[in-house]
Amino acid sequence: MGERHDDASGRVEAFLDALWLEQGASEHTLVAYRRDLTAWAARLAERGETLLAPAPSTLPAWLDERRAAGYRLRSNARLLSSLRRFYRWALEQGLLERDPLAEVRLPRVRPSLPETLEEAEVERLIAAPDVTTDLGLRDRTMLEVLYGAGLRVSELVGLGVEAVNLRQGVVRVRGKGDKDRLVPLGEEAVDWLARYLRTARGALMRDASRPALFPGRDDRPLTRQAFWYRIKAHARVAGIERSLSPHTLRHAFATHLLNHGANLRVVQMLLGHSDLSTTQIYTHVAQARLERLHADHHPRG
């Protein structure tokens, strides 16, 4: 007798609960896994198969159909990763004796290289805000901290005053999965933070006892969207024409550290990545930059 749909749904939800409880997976991650596993369970149900006993040919055939329908190789690779993680969990729970997808393979997907900035471009962007104004000083300080500590924008705007220790030159960051990490700021970021805290922050707030380090409206933390709008405005002032993303300075932070000889595991710790493979993409960024510099400047490039 085949596995009922509600049995499959229950197993998916149990798996997602385990991801959240044991690994602190984000809501975005859980939504992606639920979408992939629900689609897979529906596909199996159409063929009279079960989530825990798919036929060996079902997934390869489905992946081929998806490619023919216009799904990119990366999309199929992400789907396969979701399913493999589910079946690893099922094995650990004793629901399976072997992984039904063990023999399924996809062509290797080269990591996509994030858009980043050269060091001179970063300097121009950071120097763009008008620091004679309170808002400009706030923005300059945010850019210094973002680049100096390699933070995600969500981590930056979520900082409270208590997270900063100027004497030690570090900031305590609440990252993905509610995991805290201490990140050094660097002298420039510390100096700008000290200046900002002495002057502009209080002037931008009605109640300076509120916790937001970088306030927007009503003494609440500046939103990611509002800060991103400010970054794009400053990029125009700096004459930066390439497309930017909210993670551009974080990518630049990692790439520039590696370009100057930083150890990959140190960069992993600073970025708050749980998996070194996530950090390794920046070695490709650094290599691509070196190849471009060689082509541009070597007499035989």
Whether 11 is a known active-site residue: answer: no
Residue found by looking up tokens 């990140």 in the block? 183
What one-character-per-residue DSSP string does 252-266 give? HHHHHHHHTT--HHH
261 phi-psi bin (left φ>0, alpha ψ -120 to 50, beta other): left
Q: Which one from 140, 201, 251, 273 is the annotated catalytic residue?
A: 273
Q: Which one from 176, 224, 284, 289 is the annotated catalytic residue?
A: 176
Whether 282 is a known active-site residue: answer: yes
Whether 176 is a known active-site residue: answer: yes
**Sheet with 164-165, side-by-side order of all strands:** 164-165, 170-174, 180-184
Q: Which one from 11, 140, 234, 250 is the annotated catalytic residue?
A: 250
Q: How far apart are CA 16 and CA 10, in angstroms?
A: 10
Q: How far apart are CA 169 and CA 149, in angstroms?
A: 11
| Burial class of residue 1 in the structure, from the number of CB atoms within 10 Å of its CB (0-12 exposed, 13-18 middle, 19+ buried) | exposed
Q: How far apart are CA 76 and CA 59, in angstroms?
A: 10
Q: Which one from 152, 201, 230, 256 is the annotated catalytic residue?
A: 152
Residue found by looking up tokens 């000290």 in the block? 194
Q: How far apart are CA 39 and CA 27, in angstroms?
A: 18
**Residue among 78, 114, 147 nearest 283 (CA):** 114
Whether 152 is a known active-site residue: answer: yes
**Which residues belong to the active site?**
152, 176, 247, 250, 273, 282
